[in-house]
Amino acid sequence: MTTPRLQAEHVRLGYDERIVVDGLTLDVADESVTVIIGPNGCGKSTLLRGMGRLLRPRGGSVLLDGKRIDRLPTKDVAKAVGVLPQTPSAPAGLTVGDLVARGRQPHQHWYRQWSSGDEEAVAHALSVTGMSAYADRAVDELSGGQRQRAWISMTLAQETSLLLLDEPITYLDLAHQVDVLDLVHRLHTERGTTVVMVLHDLNLAARYADTLVAMHDGAVVSRGTPDEVLTEDLLSDVFGLDAKVVSDPVAGTPLVLPISAHLRDEA
């Protein structure tokens, strides 16, 4: 088996005095969808930011193609890894077309600002997300779902083979959540893009992930297929959630049914 392109090795991550992730090791399987789950504050987003070199490790290392990601030229990393942070914000009046065009920055130089390759990449990124018709609209005037698709478009225009998405479906209604995840799935199946996402919705995570990674207190507690990871014991241990896990009648993946307190009392 070849070495995976993106790895974390005994990585320690944190902010100021606070260490959030300590000594975590994770191999991201190539050309697959990895979804990180875990309770609030367990370090999911911190890990994703570390793997996307938005946060410099305090110890250990994140490796891209076997080299330490924080020592590679950041522009070269930007051609290989696209990162979409949680709820980014655009300046007032910025159009969708201009936002997506900024995704081409890693491919531009001061002597060559715009090429036909850039133009094609932008047009393609807009059309894949169904945003071509909105190219002329201001990002801050769009609905939440459209705005999220605009940001994903920008990340796609970067044309990277690895994609790290931090809670890409937060604030979206269920139909738009499925839209975004279907798009991610298509990127993975049609282009072989390697995707790492942080998701809160366990049932959607189970449906779209090839690999689930469950985190608790800054450490990986379980890693495997959704069937292997999403068990009643794990939900109780990691989330402190009393739940029943059944087979999803639509997808056959695990479906988490929480047992609410008032139901438990009646039983």
User: Which stretches of the chain bind another protein, using CB under 8 A?
Assistant: 16, 49, 52-54, 74-79, 81-85, 88-99, 101-103, 105-106, 108, 110, 113, 119, 122-123, 126-133, 135-136, 140, 149, 155, 158, 179, 182-183
DSSP 3-state of 31: coil
Shortest approach of another protein to residue 153 CB, angstroms?
10
Query: Which of 6/128 has CB closer to another protein?
Result: 128
Query: Which of 158/193 has CB closer to another protein?
Result: 158
Shortest approach of another protein to residue 173 CB, angstroms?
13
One-letter identity of residue 62: V
Nearest to 241 by CA among 229, 232, 254, 250: 232
Query: Which two structure tokens, joined as six digits, stand for 140?
Result: 């801050």
Shortest approach of another protein to residue 149 CB, angstroms?
8
- Cβ-proximal residues to 189 (8 Å cutoff; 6+ apart), any chain: none
HSE on the CB side for 32, CA within 13 Å? 16
Query: How far is the CA of 37 from the CAs of 108, 190, 217, in angstroms?
Result: 35, 25, 12
Query: Which of 24/152 has CB closer to another protein?
Result: 152
One-letter identity of residue 234: L
Nearest to 166 by CA among 57, 38, 257, 256: 38
Query: How far is the CA of 33 from the CAs of 14, 54, 138, 242, in angstroms?
Result: 25, 21, 31, 27
Shortest approach of another protein to residue 131 CB, angstroms?
8
Q: Which residues pair with 93 in a beta bridge?
A: none
Shortest approach of another protein to residue 172 CB, angstroms?
12
Query: Which of 152/243 has CB closer to another protein?
Result: 152
Query: Which of 33/238 has CB closer to another protein?
Result: 33
Query: Which of 80/238 has CB closer to another protein?
Result: 80
Shortest approach of another protein to residue 32 CB, angstroms?
21
